[in-house]
Structure 1
Amino acid sequence: MKTKHELELADVKVIAAAAEAEALKNQWAVAIAVVDDGGHLLWLQRLDGAAASASYIAPSKARTAAMGRRESKVYEDIINGGRTAFLSVPAIDGLLEGGVPIMKDGQCLGAVGVSGVKSNEDAQIARAGIAALGL
Protein backbone atom coordinates (compact mmCIF):
# COMPACT_ATOMS: atom_id res chain seq x y z
CA MET A 1 0.00 0.00 0.00
CA LYS A 2 1.01 3.57 -0.62
CA THR A 3 0.93 6.41 1.85
CA LYS A 4 -1.28 9.18 0.57
CA HIS A 5 -0.90 12.86 1.39
CA GLU A 6 -4.07 14.89 1.67
CA LEU A 7 -5.04 18.48 2.21
CA GLU A 8 -6.21 19.46 5.67
CA LEU A 9 -8.42 22.43 6.46
CA ALA A 10 -5.39 24.38 7.73
CA ASP A 11 -3.70 23.87 4.32
CA VAL A 12 -6.81 24.99 2.47
CA LYS A 13 -6.99 28.15 4.59
CA VAL A 14 -3.33 28.95 3.83
CA ILE A 15 -3.94 28.48 0.09
CA ALA A 16 -7.11 30.60 0.15
CA ALA A 17 -5.51 33.41 2.13
CA ALA A 18 -2.48 33.60 -0.17
CA ALA A 19 -4.64 33.48 -3.30
CA GLU A 20 -6.91 36.18 -1.90
CA ALA A 21 -3.89 38.34 -1.04
CA GLU A 22 -2.56 38.02 -4.61
CA ALA A 23 -5.95 38.98 -6.02
CA LEU A 24 -6.37 41.96 -3.70
CA LYS A 25 -2.80 43.15 -4.34
CA ASN A 26 -3.69 43.39 -8.02
CA GLN A 27 -7.23 44.67 -7.42
CA TRP A 28 -8.73 41.64 -9.17
CA ALA A 29 -12.28 40.59 -8.30
CA VAL A 30 -12.33 36.79 -8.56
CA ALA A 31 -13.77 33.59 -7.17
CA ILE A 32 -11.29 31.12 -5.65
CA ALA A 33 -11.99 27.40 -5.32
CA VAL A 34 -9.95 24.63 -3.71
CA VAL A 35 -10.77 20.97 -4.32
CA ASP A 36 -9.34 17.65 -3.15
CA ASP A 37 -7.74 15.09 -5.46
CA GLY A 38 -11.17 13.77 -6.50
CA GLY A 39 -12.39 17.23 -7.44
CA HIS A 40 -14.63 17.62 -4.38
CA LEU A 41 -15.05 21.22 -3.26
CA LEU A 42 -13.23 22.12 -0.04
CA TRP A 43 -13.35 25.92 -0.28
CA LEU A 44 -15.09 28.56 -2.34
CA GLN A 45 -14.98 32.30 -1.92
CA ARG A 46 -16.13 35.11 -4.17
CA LEU A 47 -14.41 38.42 -3.64
CA ASP A 48 -16.43 41.62 -3.71
CA GLY A 49 -17.17 42.66 -7.27
CA ALA A 50 -16.61 39.22 -8.83
CA ALA A 51 -19.23 38.08 -11.31
CA ALA A 52 -21.69 35.47 -10.11
CA SER A 53 -20.61 33.14 -12.92
CA ALA A 54 -17.10 33.02 -11.45
CA SER A 55 -18.52 30.96 -8.57
CA TYR A 56 -19.36 28.22 -11.05
CA ILE A 57 -16.31 28.52 -13.27
CA ALA A 58 -13.62 28.47 -10.53
CA PRO A 59 -14.67 25.08 -9.06
CA SER A 60 -14.92 23.63 -12.57
CA LYS A 61 -11.38 24.72 -13.38
CA ALA A 62 -10.13 23.30 -10.06
CA ARG A 63 -11.96 19.98 -10.58
CA THR A 64 -10.52 19.66 -14.09
CA ALA A 65 -6.97 20.31 -12.85
CA ALA A 66 -7.30 17.84 -9.96
CA MET A 67 -8.85 15.03 -11.96
CA GLY A 68 -6.42 15.48 -14.86
CA ARG A 69 -3.42 16.15 -12.59
CA ARG A 70 -2.39 18.97 -14.89
CA GLU A 71 -3.23 22.60 -15.42
CA SER A 72 -6.59 23.20 -17.04
CA LYS A 73 -4.79 25.28 -19.69
CA VAL A 74 -3.54 22.00 -21.20
CA TYR A 75 -7.11 21.15 -22.17
CA GLU A 76 -7.80 24.63 -23.50
CA ASP A 77 -4.71 24.29 -25.70
CA ILE A 78 -5.82 20.85 -26.96
CA ILE A 79 -9.20 22.24 -28.00
CA ASN A 80 -7.73 25.41 -29.50
CA GLY A 81 -5.33 23.17 -31.41
CA GLY A 82 -8.27 21.68 -33.25
CA ARG A 83 -9.16 18.59 -31.23
CA THR A 84 -12.71 19.73 -30.52
CA ALA A 85 -13.82 16.15 -29.80
CA PHE A 86 -12.18 16.68 -26.40
CA LEU A 87 -15.22 18.77 -25.46
CA SER A 88 -17.14 15.49 -25.07
CA VAL A 89 -14.94 14.12 -22.26
CA PRO A 90 -17.21 13.31 -19.30
CA ALA A 91 -16.88 15.11 -15.93
CA ILE A 92 -14.28 17.56 -17.26
CA ASP A 93 -15.91 20.92 -17.85
CA GLY A 94 -13.45 23.58 -16.71
CA LEU A 95 -11.50 23.65 -19.94
CA LEU A 96 -10.05 27.14 -19.51
CA GLU A 97 -6.76 28.33 -18.03
CA GLY A 98 -6.96 29.06 -14.30
CA GLY A 99 -7.01 25.59 -12.73
CA VAL A 100 -3.70 24.48 -11.18
CA PRO A 101 -3.06 21.11 -9.51
CA ILE A 102 -1.44 20.88 -6.08
CA MET A 103 1.37 18.34 -6.39
CA LYS A 104 3.58 16.77 -3.71
CA ASP A 105 6.05 13.96 -4.35
CA GLY A 106 4.39 13.21 -7.68
CA GLN A 107 0.93 12.90 -6.13
CA CYS A 108 -1.96 15.24 -6.76
CA LEU A 109 -3.42 16.54 -3.50
CA GLY A 110 -6.09 18.63 -5.17
CA ALA A 111 -6.22 21.86 -7.13
CA VAL A 112 -6.99 25.56 -7.06
CA GLY A 113 -9.30 27.15 -9.60
CA VAL A 114 -9.74 30.89 -10.07
CA SER A 115 -12.10 32.83 -12.30
CA GLY A 116 -12.82 36.49 -12.82
CA VAL A 117 -9.94 38.12 -14.68
CA LYS A 118 -7.79 37.17 -17.69
CA SER A 119 -7.05 33.45 -17.71
CA ASN A 120 -3.31 33.90 -17.17
CA GLU A 121 -4.09 36.16 -14.19
CA ASP A 122 -6.48 33.53 -12.80
CA ALA A 123 -3.62 31.02 -12.99
CA GLN A 124 -1.24 33.51 -11.34
CA ILE A 125 -3.60 33.77 -8.35
CA ALA A 126 -3.95 29.99 -8.13
CA ARG A 127 -0.16 29.50 -8.21
CA ALA A 128 0.32 32.13 -5.50
CA GLY A 129 -2.08 30.21 -3.26
CA ILE A 130 -0.30 26.91 -3.86
CA ALA A 131 3.14 28.47 -3.36
CA ALA A 132 2.13 29.46 0.18
CA LEU A 133 2.18 25.74 1.11
CA GLY A 134 5.92 25.63 0.42
CA LEU A 135 5.77 22.23 -1.30
Structure 2
Amino acid sequence: MAAATATRPLPCLTLEAARIASAAAEEKAKQMGIDFNIALVDSTLHLLHFTRMPNAKLTSIQIAIDKAFTAAGHRAPTSNYSNAPAAKNFLPGGPAYGIHNSNGGRFTLIGGGVPIVVDGVVVGAIGVSTGTPAQDEEVARAGVEALNRRKGGAKL
Protein backbone atom coordinates (compact mmCIF):
# COMPACT_ATOMS: atom_id res chain seq x y z
CA MET A 1 0.00 0.00 0.00
CA ALA A 2 1.36 3.42 -0.99
CA ALA A 3 1.98 5.97 1.75
CA ALA A 4 -0.45 8.88 1.86
CA THR A 5 1.00 12.24 0.88
CA ALA A 6 0.32 15.57 2.51
CA THR A 7 0.35 17.47 -0.79
CA ARG A 8 -1.12 17.33 -4.24
CA PRO A 9 -0.26 19.16 -7.45
CA LEU A 10 -2.33 22.26 -8.14
CA PRO A 11 -2.61 23.17 -11.83
CA CYS A 12 -2.28 26.94 -12.26
CA LEU A 13 -2.65 29.28 -15.18
CA THR A 14 0.73 30.48 -16.44
CA LEU A 15 1.69 34.09 -17.05
CA GLU A 16 2.12 33.29 -20.75
CA ALA A 17 -1.44 31.99 -20.96
CA ALA A 18 -2.75 34.98 -18.98
CA ARG A 19 -1.10 37.33 -21.47
CA ILE A 20 -2.66 35.47 -24.40
CA ALA A 21 -6.13 35.67 -22.84
CA SER A 22 -5.66 39.33 -21.97
CA ALA A 23 -4.53 40.22 -25.50
CA ALA A 24 -7.53 38.45 -27.02
CA ALA A 25 -9.90 40.17 -24.60
CA GLU A 26 -8.30 43.53 -25.39
CA GLU A 27 -8.68 42.89 -29.11
CA LYS A 28 -12.39 42.11 -28.60
CA ALA A 29 -12.73 45.31 -26.58
CA LYS A 30 -11.19 47.32 -29.41
CA GLN A 31 -13.65 45.75 -31.87
CA MET A 32 -16.47 46.87 -29.56
CA GLY A 33 -15.00 50.36 -29.21
CA ILE A 34 -14.92 50.19 -25.40
CA ASP A 35 -11.93 50.26 -23.04
CA PHE A 36 -12.07 47.66 -20.27
CA ASN A 37 -10.19 46.55 -17.18
CA ILE A 38 -9.04 42.94 -17.68
CA ALA A 39 -7.84 40.81 -14.76
CA LEU A 40 -6.58 37.24 -14.66
CA VAL A 41 -6.09 35.17 -11.54
CA ASP A 42 -4.59 31.72 -11.16
CA SER A 43 -6.19 28.79 -9.35
CA THR A 44 -4.94 30.14 -6.01
CA LEU A 45 -7.14 33.22 -6.63
CA HIS A 46 -4.17 35.59 -6.76
CA LEU A 47 -3.83 38.24 -9.44
CA LEU A 48 -1.55 37.05 -12.23
CA HIS A 49 -2.03 39.70 -14.92
CA PHE A 50 -3.91 42.98 -15.24
CA THR A 51 -4.58 45.39 -18.10
CA ARG A 52 -6.31 48.74 -17.81
CA MET A 53 -7.14 50.14 -21.21
CA PRO A 54 -6.78 53.95 -21.37
CA ASN A 55 -10.43 54.96 -20.86
CA ALA A 56 -11.56 52.06 -18.67
CA LYS A 57 -13.43 53.15 -15.57
CA LEU A 58 -11.09 53.57 -12.62
CA THR A 59 -13.82 52.38 -10.28
CA SER A 60 -13.96 49.11 -12.24
CA ILE A 61 -10.38 48.03 -11.54
CA GLN A 62 -11.19 46.15 -8.33
CA ILE A 63 -14.47 44.91 -9.79
CA ALA A 64 -12.61 43.17 -12.64
CA ILE A 65 -10.19 41.58 -10.17
CA ASP A 66 -13.08 40.46 -7.95
CA LYS A 67 -14.95 38.96 -10.91
CA ALA A 68 -11.90 36.81 -11.72
CA PHE A 69 -11.53 35.92 -8.00
CA THR A 70 -15.18 34.81 -7.80
CA ALA A 71 -15.16 32.85 -11.07
CA ALA A 72 -12.00 30.94 -10.15
CA GLY A 73 -12.98 30.38 -6.53
CA HIS A 74 -16.48 29.15 -7.25
CA ARG A 75 -15.47 27.53 -10.54
CA ALA A 76 -18.41 29.14 -12.33
CA PRO A 77 -19.11 32.23 -14.42
CA THR A 78 -20.25 35.18 -12.33
CA SER A 79 -23.21 35.59 -14.67
CA ASN A 80 -24.65 32.46 -13.03
CA TYR A 81 -25.49 34.65 -10.05
CA SER A 82 -27.50 37.18 -12.00
CA ASN A 83 -28.77 35.53 -15.21
CA ALA A 84 -29.23 31.82 -14.55
CA PRO A 85 -32.48 30.33 -13.22
CA ALA A 86 -30.72 29.83 -9.87
CA ALA A 87 -30.07 33.59 -9.63
CA LYS A 88 -33.21 33.96 -7.49
CA ASN A 89 -31.27 32.23 -4.71
CA PHE A 90 -29.03 35.30 -4.41
CA LEU A 91 -31.78 37.93 -4.35
CA PRO A 92 -33.26 39.30 -1.12
CA GLY A 93 -35.20 36.49 0.55
CA GLY A 94 -33.25 33.79 -1.29
CA PRO A 95 -31.33 31.13 0.65
CA ALA A 96 -27.93 32.46 -0.52
CA TYR A 97 -28.74 36.16 -0.20
CA GLY A 98 -25.78 37.91 1.38
CA ILE A 99 -23.12 35.79 -0.35
CA HIS A 100 -21.87 39.01 -1.94
CA ASN A 101 -20.69 40.06 1.52
CA SER A 102 -18.46 36.99 1.86
CA ASN A 103 -14.71 36.93 1.31
CA GLY A 104 -14.30 40.47 2.56
CA GLY A 105 -16.90 41.71 0.08
CA ARG A 106 -14.93 40.35 -2.89
CA PHE A 107 -17.57 37.81 -3.98
CA THR A 108 -19.42 39.42 -6.88
CA LEU A 109 -22.73 38.62 -8.50
CA ILE A 110 -22.04 40.75 -11.59
CA GLY A 111 -21.48 39.05 -14.94
CA GLY A 112 -18.04 39.32 -16.51
CA GLY A 113 -16.02 36.70 -14.64
CA VAL A 114 -15.33 33.42 -16.46
CA PRO A 115 -13.29 30.43 -15.23
CA ILE A 116 -10.50 28.99 -17.38
CA VAL A 117 -10.74 25.21 -17.50
CA VAL A 118 -8.05 22.82 -18.72
CA ASP A 119 -8.77 19.09 -18.80
CA GLY A 120 -11.76 19.59 -16.51
CA VAL A 121 -9.79 21.56 -13.89
CA VAL A 122 -10.17 25.28 -13.21
CA VAL A 123 -6.67 26.74 -13.55
CA GLY A 124 -7.70 30.37 -13.16
CA ALA A 125 -10.22 32.91 -14.39
CA ILE A 126 -10.61 36.15 -16.27
CA GLY A 127 -12.62 39.10 -14.98
CA VAL A 128 -13.61 42.08 -17.09
CA SER A 129 -15.29 45.32 -16.07
CA THR A 130 -16.36 48.72 -17.43
CA GLY A 131 -19.20 47.89 -19.80
CA THR A 132 -22.54 46.27 -19.10
CA PRO A 133 -22.36 42.80 -17.53
CA ALA A 134 -23.16 41.27 -20.94
CA GLN A 135 -20.36 43.27 -22.62
CA ASP A 136 -17.94 42.35 -19.85
CA GLU A 137 -18.79 38.68 -20.26
CA GLU A 138 -18.38 38.86 -24.04
CA VAL A 139 -14.87 40.28 -23.66
CA ALA A 140 -13.96 37.74 -20.96
CA ARG A 141 -15.17 34.86 -23.11
CA ALA A 142 -12.99 36.10 -25.99
CA GLY A 143 -9.99 35.64 -23.70
CA VAL A 144 -11.03 32.12 -22.69
CA GLU A 145 -11.75 31.16 -26.31
CA ALA A 146 -8.26 32.28 -27.36
CA LEU A 147 -6.77 29.89 -24.81
CA ASN A 148 -9.05 27.06 -25.89
CA ARG A 149 -7.82 27.49 -29.48
CA ARG A 150 -4.15 27.44 -28.37
CA LYS A 151 -4.11 24.59 -25.85
CA GLY A 152 -1.45 22.77 -27.82
CA GLY A 153 0.64 25.88 -28.51
CA ALA A 154 0.65 27.80 -25.24
CA LYS A 155 1.53 26.27 -21.92
CA LEU A 156 -1.44 26.81 -19.64
TM-score using structure 2 length:
0.78
Deviation at 1:3, TM superposition (A): 5.2
> Where do residues 83-94 of structure 1 align in structure 2 (5 Å cutoff)?
83=94, 84-91=97-104, 92-94=106-108
Q: Which residue of 1 aligns with 2:18?
A: 12
Q: Which residue of 1 aligns with 2:128?
A: 114
Question: CA RMSD, aligned part only?
Answer: 1.8
- Gaps (5+ residues) in structure 1? none
User: C-alpha separation between the residues in 2 aligned to 1:108 and 1:45?
Assistant: 21
**Pairing 1:28–2:42 present:** no
**Pairing 1:127–2:133 present:** no
User: C-alpha separation between the residues in 1 aligned to 2:23 and 2:92?
Assistant: 35
Which amino acid is the alignment partner of residue 48 of structure 2? L
Q: Is the 8 A contact 2:39 2:49 kept in 1?
A: yes
Kindly provide the CA deviation profile for residues 64-108 of structure 1, in whole angstroms up to 9, marking residues without a partner as x: 000000011223324247422333433542221000000112210
**Equivalent residue of 2:117, what SS?**
strand
TM-score using structure 1 length:
0.90
User: C-alpha separation between the residues in 1 aligned to 2:15 and 2:98?
Assistant: 37
User: C-alpha separation between the residues in 2 aligned to 1:88 and 1:17?
Assistant: 31
User: C-alpha separation between the residues in 1 aligned to 2:55 and 2:64?
Assistant: 15
Which amino acid is the alignment partner of residue 54 of structure 1? S
- Gaps (5+ residues) in structure 2? 152-156
Pick from 62, 67, 74: which aligns with 1:68? 74
Q: Is the 8 A contact 1:62 1:94 kept in 2?
A: no
Which amino acid is the alignment partner of residue 113 of structure 1? G
Deviation at 1:28, TM superposition (A): 1.1
User: C-alpha separation between the residues in 1 aligned to 2:98 and 2:35?
Assistant: 33
Pick from 78, 100, 114: which aligns with 2:114? 100
